[in-house]
């Protein structure tokens, strides 16, 4: 029992850290890349995360939204969020300018099993905005390229104007240590890459299933089709990893909104192995 009636909360996991927007890049009509810097020196210096983890992005007066971190864990001092204008909170973020202050809480959840993946080939498959969380993993692999075997990246978007990070991928296409294949559902005259859904690209790649880990991120309808292709290539269900998007409102396993089967996406995921996902009702 404490005597005082009003308690000041020393540690409050719901309290966002004031964070400055240090750069904004327009990626597409609806997506922007925000570079953020936590203002408090100590918090910023101790902020560590794994690829695949997310933060709660907080704009007081509007609300919070869970956003995957797109930058690599090795990039210190700043984090990047790739955000589509989809609701009130992301809409409010899109109207912010460089130098404005927002809030973040986190990082939360379980990311990709990077230590397990090291020493193996890696196949990464992204659809649409699913490239945002995978971008962190791609950048991390890039930073520690010698730790991984063959790296294959398949990325599909609806049309050329919706391809995210195109400037970077256009450069990577010329590198021989990444196999990168881009595809769009509907091409235009500017498009020189593949056309068709991302699953079609599996005919074009060679996978040594015994030594490959894979990660998939995209719209819910994509998972089953991509996983079918991976299974056809002989990949084990516990080496395929998926990242789920649910309504992670609190981020800390309390509010209940992100329940998937018997687990919570925010603390048990958002990254699950396909074996785990198979055991989650209504997950895929």
What residues make contact with another protein under the rule CB under 8 A?
A: 1-3, 5-9, 11-16, 18-19, 58-65, 84, 86-87, 89-90, 101-103, 129, 219-220, 245-247, 249-250, 252-257, 259-263, 267, 281-282
CA distance 16 to 14: 6
Among 229, 237, 270, residue whose Cα is nearest residue 136: 270
Nearer of residues 35 and 245 to another protein, judged by Cβ: 245
- Residue 14 CB, shortest distance to another protein, in Å, is 6
> What Å distances lie between residue 143 and 48, 72, 130, 137, 178, CA to CA?
16, 8, 21, 10, 13
- Residue 257 CB, shortest distance to another protein, in Å, is 6
Nearer of residues 3 and 48 to another protein, judged by Cβ: 3
- Residue 51 CB, shortest distance to another protein, in Å, is 21
Nearer of residues 96 and 173 to another protein, judged by Cβ: 96
- Residue 184 CB, shortest distance to another protein, in Å, is 19
Among 79, 129, 136, 126, residue whose Cα is nearest residue 103: 79
Nearer of residues 118 and 249 to another protein, judged by Cβ: 249
Q: Which residues contact 55 (CB under 8 A, 6 or more apart)?
A: 66, 67, 69, 79, 81, 104, 105, 106, 107, 108, 251
Residue with tokens 């540690």: 11
Nearer of residues 16 and 239 to another protein, judged by Cβ: 16
Assess contact for 215 and 112: CB atoms under 8 A: yes
- Residue 112 CB, shortest distance to another protein, in Å, is 21
């Amino acid at each position: 029992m404490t005597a005082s009636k009003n308690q000041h909360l020393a540690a409050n996991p719901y309290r966002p850290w004031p964070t400055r927007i240090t750069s904004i890049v327009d990626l597409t009509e609806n997506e922007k890349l925000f570079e953020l810097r936590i203002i408090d020196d100590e918090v910023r210096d101790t902020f560590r995360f794994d690829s695949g983890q997310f933060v709660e992005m907080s704009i007081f007066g509007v609300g919070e939204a869970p956003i995957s971190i797109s930058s690599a864990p090795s990039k210190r001092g700043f984090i990047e969020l790739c955000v589509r204008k989809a609701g009130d909170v992301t809409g409010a973020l899109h109207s912010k300018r460089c130098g404005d202050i927002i809030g973040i809480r986190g990082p939360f959840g379980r990311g990709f099993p990077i230590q397990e993946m090291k020493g193996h080939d890696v196949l990464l498959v992204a659809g649409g905005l699913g490239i945002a969380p995978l971008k962190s993993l791609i950048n991390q692999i890039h930073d520690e390229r010698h730790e991984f075997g063959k790296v294959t990246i398949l990325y599909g978007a609806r049309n050329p104007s919706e391809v995210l990070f195109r400037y970077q991928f256009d450069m990577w296409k010329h590198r021989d240590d990444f196999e990168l294949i881009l595809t769009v559902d509907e091409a235009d005259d500017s498009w020189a890459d593949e056309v068709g859904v991302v699953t079609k690209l599996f005919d074009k790649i060679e996978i040594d299933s015994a030594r490959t880990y894979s990660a998939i991120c995209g719209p819910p309808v994509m998972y089953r089709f991509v996983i079918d292709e991976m299974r056809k290539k002989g990949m084990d269900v516990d080496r395929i990893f998926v990242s789920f998007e649910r309504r992670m409102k609190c981020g800390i396993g309390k509010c209940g909104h992100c329940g998937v089967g018997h687990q919570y996406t925010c603390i048990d995921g958002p990254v699950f192995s396909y074996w785990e996902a198979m055991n989650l009702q209504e997950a895929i």
